[in-house]
Amino acid sequence: QVQLVESGGGLVQAGGSLRLSCAASGSIFSISFKGWYRQAPGKQREMVAGISSDGSTNYADSVKGRFTISRDNAKNTGYLQMNSLKPEDTAVYYCKFHWAGRDYWGQGTQVTVSS
Cα separation, 21 vs 60, in Å, equals: 19
pLDDT for the residue numbered 29: 79
pLDDT for the residue numbered 30: 83
pLDDT for the residue numbered 67: 98
What mean pLDDT is predicted for residues 7-16? Answer: 97
Cα separation, 98 vs 33, in Å, equals: 6
38-73 confidence digits (pLDDT tens): 999 999 999 999 999 999 999 999 999 999 999 999
Q: How would you write 1-41 as a 3-class SS string?
A: CEEEEEECCEEEECCCCEEEEEEEEECCCCCEEEEEEEECC
